[in-house]
Amino acid sequence: MYAYDPYDKEIVNTRVEEFRDQVNRRLSGELTEEEFRPLRLMNGLYLQLHAYMLRVAIPYGTLSSVQMRRLALIARKYDKGYGHFTTRQNIQYNWPKLVDTPDILLDLADVEMHAIQTSGNCIRNVTTDQFSGATADEIADPRPYAELIRQWSTFHPEFSFLPRKFKIAITGAPSDRAAVKWHDIGLVVRKNDAGDIGFEVLVGGGMGRTPVIAKTIRDFIPEADLLGYLEAILRVYNEQGRRDNKYKARIKILVEALGSDTFADLVEKEWQTTRHHPIDVPEAEIKRIEAFFAPPPLEVLPEQDPAVDELAANNFLFHAFLKNNVRPHKVPGHVNVTISLKPHGGIPGDATDAQMDLVADLADTYSLGEIRVSHEQNLILPHVARRDLPELYEALSRSGLGTANVGLISDIIACPGLDYCALANARSIPIAQNLAKRFDDITRLQDIGELKVKISGCINSCGHHHAGHIGILGVDRKGEEVYQLLLGGSGAEDASKAQILGPGFDENGIVDAVETVVAVYLGERQDGEKFLETYRRIGADPFKEAVYEAH
Amino acid sequence: MAKKPVGPQMILANCLREGRALFFGRDGAWHAEPALADVAEGDGLDALMAKARAFADANNVIDPVFIPAEQKDDHYYPAHIKHVMQAKGPSVRPDLGYQVSPDWERR
Ligand code: SF4
């Protein structure tokens, strides 16, 4: 894992003290709210429905056990004993007091964390595959590049006031688990014919009120040119992106308006002009960063373990856990374990301080002290020996963390919605809870198979409903919460935009409608077909007929 | 010029220190309980907001805004679900927020 150098430490600590001064000046009345608001937002501090909300960056979703314990401590000491892991691999605290926030930031800085650039029109936390560095299907671990981008983009003076916020995602594997095509810039690690590492560059993806899937503007940019090329993209966007209308200010609107070929030409031109003055990252610095992400020192172990097999044969829930939450590691005899933060009836993405502490302890015991956060709002222990699974499962289950539903219909992404969020039109969480309760039976869940449900409480789409196999969008119809049903989206390498099926439903109707959709799928699916495959084969009509006939 | 809100309105704001939602009361103070809120409509709105702003500045309360109110029994309450939520606390955490008690924060 990356460790701060003295420079990182200094800028983060300086920012904490600067913010402490700003908070004091606000509390004394020296700063007005208008003056203070942009300053608090630059430090990730929002004002939501019930309280302030602090969004803390988890760079590329990687945490050490020490950091996780600190997140637990903050939840306990300054908040209400829990935190919410988000679709951007961050954590949000829902109840911090303004007066405490400088101390929270100091506690975070102490473990090399911060809340900088988690708000505002700047380059936000870079996100990536939660299995990076621990999966056999990747070409290269994307985290050293994500870290390089983090360093380049943090406090980048030219890109601190972009037309709108800017999100970069990177994957090192052809299986896209980071939804790169839904980002302002998506990077896919590629190897060229000569065997050199580089990146396919996609631009202009995004959700919100205008969902767009990113387009490739360069098939291969060599590793050494990555930052220069990113800078060229950002510069073109910064100069030409619209600032007159915030709904048209994201890069996706610019790319659509110009056409991706023209946009690519502009970037190329900009890059050719500046590449003679490249952003020289010293070789030593690259090596220094890479060293932090060296492959974990894991011993090769047998692929099978008799104790695991025996428990799986005798314990149905462990069998399901093995099937759904566990996947192979690149080192034989090891696995990645996904800890579901979607207990049936629970709040997607929420974890208590005690659960965070437990995950930290389990990471120390079983996963070299490392934890990941996925954009699907789950936690991952990336480096677990297969033989340790029975013990690990037992410990997780005892604490409500053993739900064996990863990738299944109850593993729902849901944004905070109207229960917390000041921008929301409708609640998301109760819909997720009711759906999970409706599909509570693990046998039924497994029979349905992979099915990604994603729920947003407003068109800002933090719950990724556009990319849901089943997407749900909460809207406000004359003060009533109404839910639109969308089908056929994907956030993976086969990215697609979900389409609205028809008129919306109330809180109960939407759960019934999803059940009808599932029934149509089960009736129509052919051998081994997943929900999305069936939907793509038969189209929306059979679903539409069944759903609206029933209402 | 912004359009004047229609119908009975109360004023909702946030406490600077904690961020909690507060209603401007008939007694000129800020309260967590919407039942204590002062209500005005039409020509009375400007005066109510002027009074609330003066008290906001003095009490470290931020962003006062009108929200629609509706009468139930003897009192007015927020009409829109968003403001009902603010008055109560998250529906998915009945153990948190003002729904527990008005002075929940201080317990
Ligand atoms: S999608 Fe809307 S309701 Fe949900 S968290 Fe984002 S802004 Fe809030």
HSE-CB of A342 using CA atoms within 13 angstroms: 34
Which tokens is A40 given? 């608090």
- Sketch out chain A's domains with CATH numbers: 6-109 (3.90.480.20), 134-291 (3.30.413.10), 306-398 (3.90.480.20), 415-550 (3.30.413.10)
Q: In chain A, what residues touch B20 (CB-CB under 8 Å)? A: 50-51
User: Largest alpha-carbon pair distance within chain A?
Assistant: 69
Which residues touch A145 (CB under 8 Å, ≥6 apart)? A170, A187, A189, A199, A223, A226
Chain B interface with A: residues with Cβ < 8 Å: 14, 16-21, 60, 62-63, 79-82, 85-86, 89-93, 96-97
A359 neighbors A340 (Cβ within 8 angstroms): no
Q: Which of A26, A50, A481 sits opposite B81 (nearest CB)?
A: A481
- Chain B contact for A414 (CB, 8 A cutoff): no
**Structure tokens, A314:** 């005798």
pTM for this model (two decimals):
0.96
- What per-residue confidence (pLDDT) applies to B98? 85
- In chain A, the N- to C-terminal Cα span, in Å, equals 53
For the CA of A458, the nearest atom of ligand 1: 2
Cα dihedral: A445, A451, A453, A454 (round 10): 140
The answer, for A51 touching chain B at a CB cutoff of 8 Å, is yes
Q: What is the reported pLDDT for B19?
A: 93
Task: Pick the residue from chain B with its C-alpha nearest to A425.
Answer: B82
List of residues 6+ apart from A403 with CB closer than 8 A: A340, A342, A343, A344, A410
CA A77 – CA A357 distance, rounded (Å): 13
Order of strands across the sheet that contains A52-56: A45-47, A52-56, A91-93, A82-85, A350-352
Of A189, A194, A184, A185, residue with least CA distance to A173: A189
Half-sphere exposure of B36 (CA within 13 A, CB side): 13
Q: What is the pLDDT along chain A (551 residues), one digit of tens a residue?
A: 899 999 999 999 999 999 999 999 999 999 999 999 999 999 999 999 999 999 999 999 999 999 999 999 999 999 999 999 999 999 999 999 999 999 999 999 999 999 999 999 999 999 999 999 999 999 999 999 999 999 999 999 999 999 999 999 999 999 999 999 999 999 999 999 999 999 999 999 999 999 999 999 999 999 989 999 999 999 999 999 999 999 999 999 999 999 999 999 999 999 999 887 667 677 788 889 999 999 999 999 999 999 999 999 999 999 999 999 999 999 999 999 999 999 999 999 999 999 999 999 999 999 999 999 999 999 999 999 999 999 999 999 999 999 999 999 999 999 999 999 999 999 999 999 999 999 999 999 999 999 999 999 999 999 999 999 999 999 999 889 999 999 999 999 999 999 999 999 999 999 999 999 999 999 999 999 999 999 999 999 999 999 998 55
Question: Can you give the pLDDT at residue B107?
Answer: 45
Q: Which of A29, A51, A430 sits opposite B19 (nearest CB)?
A: A51
Chain A: residue nearest B58 by CA?
Answer: A29
Q: Which residues of B touch A26 (CB under 8 A)?
A: 16
The set of protein residues with a Cβ atom below 6 angstroms from ligand 1 is A 415-417, 421, 423-424, 456-458, 460-463
Residue nearest to atom 6 of ligand 1 (CA): A462
pLDDT reported for residue A266? 98
Which residues make Cβ contacts (< 8 Å) with residue A444, sequence separation at least 6? Answer: none
A458: enclosing H helix or E strand? none
Query: Does A34 contact chain B (CB < 8 Å)?
Result: no
What's the confidence (pLDDT) of residue B55? 83
Q: Separation of A76 CA from ligand 1 center, angstroms?
A: 25
Q: Does A417 touch chain B (CB under 8 A)?
A: no
| pLDDT score for A287 | 86
The 3-state DSSP class for residue A431 equals helix
ipTM of the complex: 0.94
Could you give the C-alpha distances from A288 to A4, A197, A291, A453, in angstroms and in order?
11, 18, 5, 40
Residues of chain A in contact with residue B91, where contact means CB-CB under 8 angstroms, are 419, 427, 430
Q: Does any CB of chain B come closer than 8 Å to the CB of residue A479?
A: yes
Selection from A489, A415, A499, A504 nearest residue A455 by Cα: A415
What would the pLDDT profile of B34-56 be if each residue is shown by its tens digit?
Answer: 999 999 999 999 999 999 998 87
From the candidates A26, A47, A49, A82, which should be mutated to test the interface with B, based on the most B CB atoms within 10 A? A49
* Chain B residues within 8 A of A427 when measuring between CB atoms: 91-92
Q: DSSP characters for A193-253?
A: TT--EEEEEEE--B-TTS-B--EEEEEEEEGGGHHHHHHHHHHHHHHHS--S-GGG-SHHH
Q: Nearest-CA distance from B11 to chain A in Å?
A: 14
CA of A476 to the centre of ligand 1 (A): 13
Query: HSE on the CB side for A419, CA within 13 Å?
Result: 22
d(CA B7, nearest CA chain A) in Å:
15
Collapsing DSSP to helix, strand or coil, A153 comes out as: helix
**Dist CA A215 CA A256 (whole Å):** 10
Look at A419 and B93 and tell me if their CB atoms are within 8 Å: yes
In DSSP notation, B55-81 reads HHHHHTEEEEEEEEEEEETTEEEE-SH
| Chain A residue with minimum CA distance to B63 | A33
- Dist. CA A418 → ligand 1 center (Å): 8
d(CA A265, CA A268): 5
pLDDT of residue B57: 74
Q: Which strands, in side-by-side order, build the sheet including B9-15?
A: B30-31, B21-24, B9-15, B61-72, B75-78
- Domain residues of chain B, as ranges? 9-106
pLDDT band per the 50, 70, 90 thresholds, residue B6: very high
